[in-house]
Each structure stands twice: as structure tokens, then as C-alpha cells.
Amino acid sequence: MSEPAVVAEGLTKIYGEGDTATTALDDVSFSINQGEFVVLLGPSGSGKTTLLNQIGALEGATAGSLVVNGSEIAGMTDRERTEYRRSTVGFVFQFYNLVPTLTAHENVALIAEITGDEPDARSDVMLGKVGLEDRVGHFPGQMSGGQQQRVAIARGIVKDPPLLLCDEPTGALDLETGRSILGLLKSTTEGTNRTVFLVTHNSTIADMADRVIRLRDGKVVGDDVNPNPALPVELRW
């Protein structure tokens, strides 16, 4: 059996100090296998995005351990975190966060440039995978939300990361486009060992997950394996 992709032990994150201290993650523990499609589910303020940020090494933990692919990331230096994000993690955000002055091709190639050779070719391949081969020269302002999110997914996976972290990727999209994006995210893991974490407050989306971790008030209140994940096209919300 291969080693787990992500193992959290007593992971705690507290913002602020003294009277203003807020516990965003409270003694969170779980173990995720490689290649799993994990949905982090919970209401606003439950700590799901904080947990995603911890896995993405966007911020440090207050206490506990977080091991990704065998490496402890909780105590990494800034430089090590940058290197970790570059090599290990791809992000997809709710509002796409594309660079408006760059074309779809360039947005993807920008990240490809810092992670390997032939950025232009890799960018084109990725945009083809997300179905945007005819939009490579378009700027974000010339594309729909769904198309922009596809570019964001291409950007997230162009460096072939073992982890893909998605924060409410369908939050700004209509149902049809949302399902299409979810289908795309699911497909990017097929044939790879890539682990996907998807943050959402939409419990319907949990139906497509291999694994659902439920959070409330910073605690893990549920960690369920879904033996029969639904197809994204079957989802309704």
C-alpha cells in the first residue's frame, strides 16, 4: 500500500491573541490516500478554507502536524513553502484569479515557466485538456466565468502537482457550468495519482467525492468514505 497523501495530527490554527483569539482549526486529524477526491464540507466559518490553506502551505499552523507525501510542512520556512507550493500543489479559486493582462495561454504558461521546460507547449496541452484549444489567445475579460475557471484549472494542473486544492470552484458559476467544472476536476485525476481537495458548503457536491470530511467550528465532525461517488452530471442543487 502506498503512503498516505496527507496526514494531519492534532492540527490547530488560532488567529489573534488573548481576547481576540479565534480558533479556526481545533485538533484536526485525518489521513487521506493518494488519488482520492476529497470534499471538505461545512458551513461558513467551519474552518474548511483554513484547512485548505494549511495543506497548501499558504500559512503556518499553531500546533500539530501536517505531513504531505511524507514531508512535514507545518514547520517549513518561507523559502521551503514556496518550493513546496511550486512542486506539490495546484490551486483553483472561486474567483479564478487570472492575470487580466495575459491571455489564457499566457496565464497557464506563466506557471509552466517556473516549473519546467517548454512552457508554451505544456500550456497548449493543458488548455486542450480543459477544452479551450480555441480560446488560447483570449484574455480573461473576453471569456465567460466557466471558461475562466477552466483556464484556472489548466493553470493549476500544468505543473502536474500531486495535490490539487480547489476553494469553492463552482461558487461563482451557474449549475450547468458548475457541473461541467466539477466533471473537469474529476477527470484531471483519472489515470493519475493526484489527490484533490475541494472546499464547498454545498452538500450536494459531496456526493461525487471519494471521501467527505465534515467540519464545524474548526473540528472534524465527520470523515466518511463514499463507496459509490456520483457522476458530476448527476448532481442537482
Partner 1 sequence: MSRQRWQFVAVGVTVVIGVMMFAATYDSYLNLTESYQQTYDRLSFADVTITGGQEDLPDTLRAIPGVQTLTVRHRADVPITIGSDTLRGRLVGMPATVQPEVNKIDIQEGDYLSAGGEFEAVAEVHVARTFELGTGDTFAVVVGPGQDFTVTGIAASAEYIWPAASTQEIFPDPEQFGVFFVDEALVSQLPHSVSVRETLVLYDADATTEDVDAAVHDAATGAGATSILTQADHPSNSTLQLDVEGFGEMAVAFPILFLTAAGMAVYVLLTRIVFAQRSIIGTMRASGMSARELRRHYLSFGLWIGGVGAIVGVILGTVSGALMTRMYTGFLDIPDTVVLIRPSTIIVGLLFGVVAGTLSALVPARAAYKIEPAEAMRGAAPLMSGGKSLLERVIPPLSKLPVRTRMTLRGMGRSKRRSLSTVLGVVFALVLILASGGMIDSILNMIDKQFNVVVVQDASVIASEPVSDDLFVEIDETPGVTRAEPVAGFSASTITNGETLATTLQGFEAGTQMHGWTNPSGSLPESGMLAGKGIADKLGVSVGDRLAIDLPTHDISIELEIVEFVDEPLGIPLYARYDVITEALREAGVDDPESLMAAPTVTTVMTLFDPTIDRTATIDRLENVAGVLAVQDARSLYTTVQQFLGLFYAFTGIMLLFGGVMAFSLMFNTISVNIAERSTEFATLKASGMSDRTIGWMIVGENLILTLLGIVPGVILGIWIADLFMGLFSNDSFNMSLMISPVTVALAALSMVVVALLSLIPGVRSVKRLDIGAVVRERAV
Contacting residues toward partner 1, per CB under 8 A = 49-50, 53, 56, 58-59, 78, 82-83, 85-87, 89-91, 93-95, 97, 99-103, 106, 109-111, 113-115, 119, 139-142, 155-156, 159, 167
The least distance separating partner 1 from the CB of residue 56, rounded to whole angstroms, comes to 7
Looking at the Cβ atoms of 70 and 141, the one nearer to partner 1 is 141
Tell me the three cell numbers of residue 55.
495543506
Q: What is the Cβ-side half-sphere exposure of residue 138, based on CA atoms within 13 angstroms?
A: 14
The least distance separating partner 1 from the CB of residue 234, rounded to whole angstroms, comes to 29
The least distance separating partner 1 from the CB of residue 106, rounded to whole angstroms, comes to 5
Looking at the Cβ atoms of 109 and 208, the one nearer to partner 1 is 109
The least distance separating partner 1 from the CB of residue 19, rounded to whole angstroms, comes to 21
Looking at the Cβ atoms of 85 and 229, the one nearer to partner 1 is 85
